[in-house]
Structure 1
Amino acid sequence: MSRTKAGAPRGEVLRMAHRLRAALARGARHTSPCPQARQHGLGARIVGSAVFFAVGTGLMLHAGQMLLRGLRQPRDGAGAARGTPLRPLPARIDGLGTAAAHLSADRSAAAGGDLYDVIATEHGVRVVMGDVRGHGIGATATVAAVLGCLREAVHDEVELARVLRRLERALARHLRERATAGPGSDSPAAEEFVTVLLLEIRRDGEMRALNCGHPWPFLLGEGHAQPLAGTEPLPPLGPFPLPVELPYVDCGRLRPGEALFLHTDGVTDARDGQGRFFPLPAVLAEAVRADPVSPHAVLRAVAAQLLRHTGGRPADDVAVVVLSNDRQTGRAPSGARDSDTCGSAAGARPATTNPQPTNYQ
């Protein structure tokens, strides 16, 4: 049954209109028979008819607007469901403090081409950070396909390499389906790819990673912000098949009180009016002067500086996740560190990989 904006059935509105017309008719029958009275009665009927016409027209227009709104609402709801594959993170996940933010370059979309998630599993806390080529509905659908696969694979698979293999298969299947669906996407399926960083943080703080073309995170703590640079990343998922061997990168340990800053290239590639890139290392160094490192404080500081740098309008999707180790066990002695970073960043030790990589077909 159709309803008005106030929730009343449309039949009730029509009954109200009929009662109004009957009341006007009764007023006409009770007019005086004298000529002057008949003139006044005629005037009353004219005015009444005009009022009835105006009210009836308004009711019909209102009913039409309600009908159109009712037809639009299901489509809007479906669009909202498709546009929000990202989900808010809890404040703490298995002893790790979290903070995350996402900003779509497409003002009409609830989400864009960036993806992230942090999931506690029996294998450790597993983190994904990724970036789909392009924007809009096509990119958002790809984000949903990748995250849907990831949220099962991280629990099922012991090795990160197997998680990455499943993401590769899920992406290939999704792109095939899009290609057979025909035109209509703002990003052709044949040209789409996804950068992905898979990170595993174990209970003792040990970190392992697989990186497919994504920016490496920053390690924050003790007044410093140091790139967690690793070996040369693998190619992004999509254009080329993964190599036969996928050894993970050993990234050392995340000690209690330290944090990780994960981001998409929408942060580092952001430019101001003069074309200058966003100075992320300097902004992070300023944000971690306070001790201990607070994920929300770091997130607020970076977001404020980024919006100021871009004049409030970043040209690309932006996603940021900050994770702090709030666990109180396994604290290393003061001044002592394990392999802090993975890779060849300034002051970092060389990256190591698992000595016996498993060959996954």
Structure 2
Amino acid sequence: MIRTSRISRAVRRPAHLPGASRFRGVAPYGLPVGWGVLAVAWKFGCPLARQPEMPVRILTSAVFLAVGAGLLLVARRRLRRELAGVRAVAEATQQVLLRPPPARLDGLALAAGQLSASRGATVGGDLYEAVATPYGVRVVIGDVRGHGLAALGAVVAVLGSFREAAHDEAELGGVLRRLERALQRHLRERARDEHPAAGGGAPAHPVAEEFVTLLLLEVRPDGRLAVLNCGHPEPYRLGDRVERLAVGEPLPPLGVLPLPAALVPDTGARLLPGETLVLYTDGAEEARDRRGRFFALEAALARGGERAPAALVRQVHEALLRHTGGRLADDVALLALRNDRVRVPAQPAEPGLRRPRPAPSTHC
């Protein structure tokens, strides 16, 4: 019975019939086109329409103008529906590809956001992700050379590898090697597609010029930071003051040179409770206004004060757009995390029980 009802519903739906979707696409144009046909027939078939009097000319022009306006309105409405569908798909893609981090993660408050330099795009060449693992909260932020849709392949490769390796690899160096191998596979596939035998034209961003700057970070339970930096800008730490955090000697960007044999993270820094760490891509510091002045990121972070990570990211983005007039030359990604773990003060040792004094002896 259920199967029969499903079949009957499928038969009744015209969308399942061949050409039904094509009919729905041209149906809104039926009324304006019909009026247009009647207007043309009236113009050439009616003797009254061919009279040279001014009222007749005005009436004829009004009829044709109404028909043209109707066609334009129908086309505009259809384009708006298609644009809304494309935007919905783009937003869904962003949620899967560059999903926002959770507001809280293992005692850390997080927020992130991206501004794309490509007009109408919601994702670009920047990437970020944060996951809680048995080894601590692991965070990655990166910047693919170029921006927009051409860089999405590398973003997919690096993010997909990080989301698995962050849980599988006990050492942070092992995570970075997994990211390097994933990017190398992507570049090999790009090289095959760009080969002249593939028949494609010259790419806008050749695979030989593609690389990724990347910062890989681990926040351990005691607040100690382990950092591997592949040519990426150093983060800022916001506490009593705003300071750029030194994270050791940088490694080459992924895709430029092979990683060295030994990958030893820098563990000299710590994120104390109440302090905020801000990771960003170089588009934030290289943004210029009409006079060519660079955006003062450190000053913008200082004005943020002790705001929550979400408010801090929003404030910096607004300041960036004001500084550039809304015209970004490169994608900008920003990720802020605050240590909300409670520092438990040392408890005094429990005083020992006093021993009872021995009773005085009664023996002589």
What TM-score, normalized by structure 1, do the two folds share? 0.70
The answer on 1:198 being equivalent to 2:216 is yes
Q: 1:154 to 1:111 in 2, by over 3 A?
A: same
Post-superposition offset of 1:325? 0.5
Post-superposition offset of 1:154? 0.1
Post-superposition offset of 1:186? 2.8
**1:176 matched residue in structure 2:** 188
Question: 1:75-116, CA deviations, whole angstroms, 9 ceiling, x for partnerless residues?
Answer: 887766666620012111111101111011001322000000
Letter in 2 for 1:103: L
Equivalences for 1:46-85 in 2 at 5 Å?
A: 85=97
**1:89 matched residue in structure 2:** 101
Letter in 2 for 1:165: R
Question: 1:276-301, CA deviations, whole angstroms, 9 ceiling, x for partnerless residues?
Answer: 1111112212222x4xx421232232
Query: Which SS does the other structure have where 1:110 is aligned?
Result: coil
Letter in 1 for 2:107: G
After superposition, the CA RMSD in angstroms is 3.5
The answer on 1:164 being equivalent to 2:176 is yes
The answer on 1:135 being equivalent to 2:147 is yes
Post-superposition offset of 1:324? 0.3
Task: After the TM superposition, list the runs of 4 or more consecutive aligned residues in structure 1 that deviate by more than 4 angstroms.
Answer: 7-11, 68-84
Post-superposition offset of 1:304? 2.0
The answer on 1:211 being equivalent to 2:224 is no
The answer on 1:124 being equivalent to 2:132 is no
**2:15 matched residue in structure 1:** 2
**1:98 matched residue in structure 2:** 110
Conservation of the 8 A alpha-carbon contact between 1:204 and 1:330? no
Conservation of the 8 A alpha-carbon contact between 1:82 and 1:140? no
Letter in 1 for 2:239: G
- For residues 324 and 277 of structure 1, what CA distance do their matches in structure 2 show? 27
**2:166 matched residue in structure 1:** 154
Q: 1:304 to 1:251 in 2, by over 3 A?
A: farther
**2:250 matched residue in structure 1:** 233
Q: 1:8 to 1:312 in 2, by over 3 A?
A: closer
Picking from 271, 274, 278, the partner of 1:257 is: 274
Query: Which SS does the other structure have where 1:131 is aligned?
Result: strand
- For residues 296 and 323 of structure 2, what CA distance do their matches in structure 1 show? 9
- For residues 331 and 131 of structure 1, what CA distance do their matches in structure 2 show? 40
**1:317 matched residue in structure 2:** 331
- The runs of 5 or more residues in structure 2 that have no matched partner are 1-13, 31-66, 195-199, 347-364
Conservation of the 8 A alpha-carbon contact between 1:136 and 1:186? no
More helix by share: 2
Post-superposition offset of 1:173? 0.2
- For residues 142 and 93 of structure 1, what CA distance do their matches in structure 2 show? 26
Q: 1:99 to 1:72 in 2, by over 3 A?
A: closer
Equivalences for 1:265-280 in 2 at 5 Å?
A: 265-280=282-297
**2:238 matched residue in structure 1:** 220
Query: Which SS does the other structure have where 1:195 is aligned?
Result: strand
Q: 1:80 to 1:158 in 2, by over 3 A?
A: same
- For residues 272 and 2 of structure 1, what CA distance do their matches in structure 2 show? 52
- The runs of 5 or more residues in structure 1 that have no matched partner are 18-54, 333-361
Conservation of the 8 A alpha-carbon contact between 1:83 and 1:109? no
**1:302 matched residue in structure 2:** 316
- For residues 267 and 86 of structure 2, what CA distance do their matches in structure 1 show? 47
Letter in 2 for 1:108: G
**1:348 matched residue in structure 2:** none
Letter in 1 for 2:294: F
Q: 1:301 to 1:8 in 2, by over 3 A?
A: closer
The answer on 1:327 being equivalent to 2:344 is no
Conservation of the 8 A alpha-carbon contact between 1:258 and 1:324? yes
Question: 1:258-316, CA deviations, whole angstroms, 9 ceiling, x for partnerless residues?
Answer: 0101100000111111111111112212222x4xx421232232122211111122211
The answer on 1:110 being equivalent to 2:125 is no
Query: Which SS does the other structure have where 2:190 is aligned?
Result: helix
Q: 1:286 to 1:8 in 2, by over 3 A?
A: closer
**1:37 matched residue in structure 2:** none
Conservation of the 8 A alpha-carbon contact between 2:227 and 2:247? no
- For residues 266 and 215 of structure 1, what CA distance do their matches in structure 2 show? 10
- For residues 223 and 217 of structure 2, what CA distance do their matches in structure 1 show? 12
Q: 1:298 to 1:251 in 2, by over 3 A?
A: farther
- For residues 81 and 312 of structure 2, what CA distance do their matches in structure 1 show? 43
Percent identity reads 55
Question: 1:93-149, CA deviations, whole angstroms, 9 ceiling, x for partnerless residues?
Answer: 111101111011001322000000111111100000100001222201210111001
- For residues 70 and 181 of structure 1, what CA distance do their matches in structure 2 show? 34
Structure number with larger C-alpha Rg: 2
**1:35 matched residue in structure 2:** none
What TM-score, normalized by structure 2, do the two folds share? 0.69
Post-superposition offset of 1:330? 5.0
